[in-house]
Structure 1
Amino acid sequence: MKKYLALVFLLILVGCGITEEKQIENRSLKVALAYKPRSFDPHRHTDSATLAVTKQIYSNLFSIDNEGNIVTELVESYQIQEDSSIILRLKKGVLFHNEDEMKAEDVKRSLERNLEIPVSRVLVEAIESVEVIDGYTLKINQNNSPSILLHNLAHSSTAIVKEVAKNSQDIDLVGTGPYKIEDWSLSEKVVLKGFDKFYGEKAKMKDLVFQTIPETSNRLIALETGEIDIAYDISANDIKGIEKNPKLKVINEVSLGSDFITINTKRVKDKRIRQAIEYAIDKKAIINTVYEGYGVVPKSILSPNVFGYDDEAKIREYNLDRAKELLKEAEVESLKLGLWIYDEPSRQQMAQIIQANLKELGIDVEINVLEVSSFLQYTGMGEHDLLIGLWYVSTGDADYGFYPLLHSSSAGPVGNRSFYSNVEVDNLLDRARKTTSTFERKENYKKVQNIISDEVPLFPIAYKNYTIGLQNNINGFLFNPNGNHILYKVYYEKN
């Protein structure tokens, strides 16, 4: 009888163990975002919330490793020709989520779609044509440095997509990534389901739920209560609290992004006024107050791990007296400016410090707070005097840092919200695209940095750290400095 009871007890334990293991495997991974993703189309939207989600759905031809090197993703191998064209040989057996196999014709159409959409065109406009050689091989004819295009093809907005007819009027997009769309409605939640025919390592969690929680404090509470597993965009003020909580852990790493001030040069035309504004803003105070001292005053909008960064670039230090001298030279006694920001606590803190700094200079600043999509829309139209911007040089190359933000052809929604136009800067950026010489490219970017430091269409405030809170039993999270973190390898560790 004792042996029988022991056996029953053992079977119950084993049974419970199997059930628990099954529950762990079937649990959803819940991730909190600060902003609502704008759509499931990575070619049309480059905001961080959208790409954080679409990176899980779509794959790229290439990616960038932690050392900044180009590595293949959907590409098996590639060759750069003497005329700077690129031959791509695709991996075989890669399936889209509708279970069609990815072929060279699909990649050709996806790249041509990039060229048709202004937002992503800036990444691929060097492409003159795409030729299909056979089912898995294609040739990209392009007129720029091949290195730039390879870096740009690693950007999440050049992910390979396939258009599939949904009905007579609408189309769906399908990708080849580890997750496919289960539910993307107008609510604050996006649900992705693991794609069991993914060409790589299968997703460890059966589905992935992105929940939009705009308030930083609410994201933290949701993390502390276990409502969510991972919280993006944690406030620097909350890092120490998370570190003291044994149930949580934090990732606080430097990204490829920077926070900066953009000055609308159509409204603030005198560069002496723009220089005065930069001199009057106490960047160290912003870093100490808003970012809890995590960071240093930057030399450039390019972070140090981006190709083309100039370590010799000079910093315009806080100097209120010099700022006042410049306004006097410009014969400006008083000035009223509108500072536009999107609705986020750290932005509001930063704006208040800037407002106080410029008041000491005699400039009255009105802070205009908008929801993200409205902010992007109206600043793209040039409604602002100043704005606080954030740009991720997600390709790891200065071309994507400078060209969208400074080239006159990018004025407006594409990125150049300073509406800056300088023929010399345009020529330097164009030449940097054409040459295959690494030295010449760096020299051109160095000259661009010197010019914009003098003319101040924009200037950096701080390098952006990515701060992420996680439950302590979450493992396999792959941090990506471009912000599009990899989630298909995430799993729960049994306590």
Structure 2
Amino acid sequence: MVSLAAAQTLIVAQGADPVTLDPQGQNDQPSARVRVQIYETLVEFDKDLNIVPALAESWEFITPNELEFKLRQGVKFHNGDAFTAEDVKYSIERVKDSATVAFLLEAISEVEVVDDYTVRIRMANPYAPILNHLAHPSTAIVNRRSVEEAGDDFGASVAIGTGPFVFKEWVSGSHVTLVRNENYWGEPAKVEELIIRSIPEGTVRAIELETGGVDIAYNLEPMDELRLTGQPGIVLDKYEELSTSYVGFNVLKPPLDNKLVRQAINYALDVDAVVDYIYTGLAAKSNTPLPPGAWGFNPNVEGYYYDPDKARELLAEAGYADGLKLSIWTNDNPLRMQIAEMFQANLADVGVEVEIQILPWATYLEDTALGKHDMFILGWGTVTADADYGLYALFHSSMHGDPGNRTFYTNPRVDELLDAGRRETDPEKRMAIYWEAQETIVEDAPWVFLINTSAVNGLRDYVEGFWPHPAGHHVLGGVSVNK
């Protein structure tokens, strides 16, 4: 119960502006962190990553290829329309038509509306991660009338869902304001107003937390965490993320189309120094694309290590004994900019001259999707905690560009394995498939496999009810501010 002294506004800071508030519009974390307050999915993850009911009260596999959901009754969209099976059918078909997130539900061949509160999903083949994918924020249920009436404004100035908060305004580059959904089907939000501010500079987020400008600051940087540790009035909440940071290569562009060059760069970069000096130990070196907390992670992949001599040998073997010139892109994320500068020095040591280019977040996503880059620094959260999500979008040849494969990597054997992993329902056989896929991907080196991170959120000590979602999509309806 909210105390009498409870404040009615919760202010949260994150490191980037949303790209869109349309669930099917873009698959980035800053957008998702806002959208999970507005929209809901059929099922969701609890704190222990178990699948639990959300807009669906129950579900049953009628056959291995057919899944029936019983929907929650009495739910209203923010515009007053009733939530029904027709909305589920429309939303799933909209996901399948999305250039960005279709891969999540492409296995679905048909959606049947049995009655207003029963829906059946049919798949051409068994699809092992279907429930995990239906918990992904981009499969959230939208209201057809609001989408069609808003047209291009949907996701910009219009965002209608069923969640605990209602969209009020989005001031680009500044903040998104949401207000409590007074007609919410579940427990109403604890605060009347939620403001999510975009503050790219980590130190500024920390200062805003210190001075009371925000109540919660997401993803504090390591140096700020050290400074704030033990400071009165501030609670630091650390958790293991389901995310991997990497440097991606455009494997279609010479000389990065040469595997020897990509392997050489992996050996040239001192990733341990990134862990020790940039993240001050709040990260672990990654040997595979998957984080250790994801199902299917292969702990036996040895990966690459810092060996400048080996890097020079491979560059010479590839025909670049006299060096080469490349560019590396990042957005205005301070940690990524530090990584780029460190790697610029590492690569200079082996004869590779690197130009650093810093782009605005939306431009960065757009241009890497178009393949305009040489190298880029990015992260990927395995939001569904399953190997399919952590590998398919990033390495399957059908996912080139915006869906996730911004390296434009293609390997027919990897495609075969990733397709098989979706169909296989025996856990041991499925695990073996993903282990082989990771070994092959690491050998091909479309990435520099960087780090798996721990995240630290900072909270004022009067904030109650916050718990960190492992994928970073923190739901804030249960959070109160008791000053």
Q: Where on the TM-score scale, by shorter chain, does this alignment land: which range?
A: over 0.9
- 8 Å CA contact 1:108, 1:132 repeated in 2: yes
Give the AA of the match of 2:384: T
2:280 to 285, 292, 313: 292
Identify the residue that residue 426 of structure 1 maps to in structure 2: 415
* Distance in structure 1 (CA, Å) of the matches to 2:81 and 2:173: 30
Look up the SS of the partner of 1:164 in the other structure.
helix
- 8 Å CA contact 2:127, 2:423 repeated in 1: no
Identify the residue that residue 403 of structure 1 maps to in structure 2: 392
The alpha-carbon deviation at position 168 of structure 1 amounts to 8.1
Identify the residue that residue 82 of structure 1 maps to in structure 2: 63
Moved more, 82-91 or 151-160: 82-91
- 8 Å CA contact 2:265, 2:448 repeated in 1: no
The alpha-carbon deviation at position 190 of structure 1 amounts to 1.0
TM-score, normalisation: structure 2: 0.95
* Distance in structure 2 (CA, Å) of the matches to 1:164 and 1:286: 49
* Distance in structure 2 (CA, Å) of the matches to 1:116 and 1:441: 28
* Distance in structure 1 (CA, Å) of the matches to 2:176 and 2:45: 26
Matches within 5 A, 1:212-251: 212-251=198-237
Q: Which runs of 5+ in 1 are unaligned?
A: 1-19
CA deviation vs aligned residue, 1:218-242 (integer Å, no higher than 9, x gap): 1111111111111112111111221
Give the AA of the match of 2:359: L
Give the AA of the match of 1:73: A
Look up the SS of the partner of 1:318 in the other structure.
coil
Identify the residue that residue 470 of structure 1 maps to in structure 2: 459
- 8 Å CA contact 2:178, 2:195 repeated in 1: yes
The alpha-carbon deviation at position 148 of structure 1 amounts to 0.9
Q: Which runs of 5+ in 2 are unaligned?
A: none
1:138 equivalent to 2:127? Answer no
Give the direction of change, closer, same or farther, for the CA distance of 1:167–1:45 in structure 2 (3 Å limit).
closer
- 8 Å CA contact 1:256, 1:396 repeated in 2: yes
Which gives a bigger RCO, structure 1 or 2 (Cα 8 Å, sep 6+)? 2
* Distance in structure 2 (CA, Å) of the matches to 1:421 and 1:219: 39
* Distance in structure 2 (CA, Å) of the matches to 1:221 and 1:67: 32
* Distance in structure 1 (CA, Å) of the matches to 2:374 and 2:110: 40
1:42 to 16, 23, 31: 23
Give the AA of the match of 1:210: I
Identify the residue that residue 241 of structure 2 maps to in structure 1: 255
Identify the residue that residue 11 of structure 1 maps to in structure 2: none
* Distance in structure 2 (CA, Å) of the matches to 1:362 and 1:144: 50
Identify the residue that residue 188 of structure 2 maps to in structure 1: 202
Identify the residue that residue 14 of structure 1 maps to in structure 2: none
1:271 equivalent to 2:259? Answer yes
- 8 Å CA contact 2:104, 2:133 repeated in 1: yes
Identify the residue that residue 17 of structure 1 maps to in structure 2: none
Look up the SS of the partner of 1:109 in the other structure.
helix
* Distance in structure 1 (CA, Å) of the matches to 2:44 and 2:26: 19
- 8 Å CA contact 2:64, 2:126 repeated in 1: no
- 8 Å CA contact 1:302, 1:309 repeated in 2: yes
The alpha-carbon deviation at position 351 of structure 1 amounts to 0.6
* Distance in structure 2 (CA, Å) of the matches to 1:102 and 1:138: 12
Identify the residue that residue 313 of structure 1 maps to in structure 2: 301
The alpha-carbon deviation at position 345 of structure 1 amounts to 0.8
1:127 equivalent to 2:130? Answer no
**Pair member with larger Rg:** 1
- Alpha-carbon RMSD across the aligned residues, in angstroms, is 1.7
1:450 to 422, 434, 439: 439
1:97 to 61, 75, 78: 78
- 8 Å CA contact 2:296, 2:435 repeated in 1: yes
Look up the SS of the partner of 1:489 in the other structure.
coil
Moved more, 338-347 or 36-45: 36-45
1:302 equivalent to 2:290? Answer yes
Work out the percentage of aligned pairs sharing the same amino acid. Answer: 36
- 8 Å CA contact 2:107, 2:127 repeated in 1: no
Identify the residue that residue 137 of structure 2 maps to in structure 1: 156
CA deviation vs aligned residue, 1:275-325 (integer Å, no higher than 9, x gap): 110011111100111111112212212111111111111131111111111
Look up the SS of the partner of 1:147 in the other structure.
coil
Look up the SS of the partner of 1:347 in the other structure.
helix
Look up the SS of the partner of 2:335 in the other structure.
helix
Look up the SS of the partner of 2:378 in the other structure.
strand
- 8 Å CA contact 2:296, 2:386 repeated in 1: yes
The alpha-carbon deviation at position 187 of structure 1 amounts to 5.5
* Distance in structure 1 (CA, Å) of the matches to 2:51 and 2:245: 26
- 8 Å CA contact 2:51, 2:132 repeated in 1: yes
Look up the SS of the partner of 2:257 in the other structure.
coil
* Distance in structure 2 (CA, Å) of the matches to 1:137 and 1:156: 21
Identify the residue that residue 5 of structure 1 maps to in structure 2: none
- 8 Å CA contact 1:260, 1:389 repeated in 2: yes
Give the AA of the match of 1:490: V
Give the AA of the match of 1:304: P
Identify the residue that residue 479 of structure 1 maps to in structure 2: 468
TM-score, normalisation: structure 1: 0.92
Give the AA of the match of 1:44: G
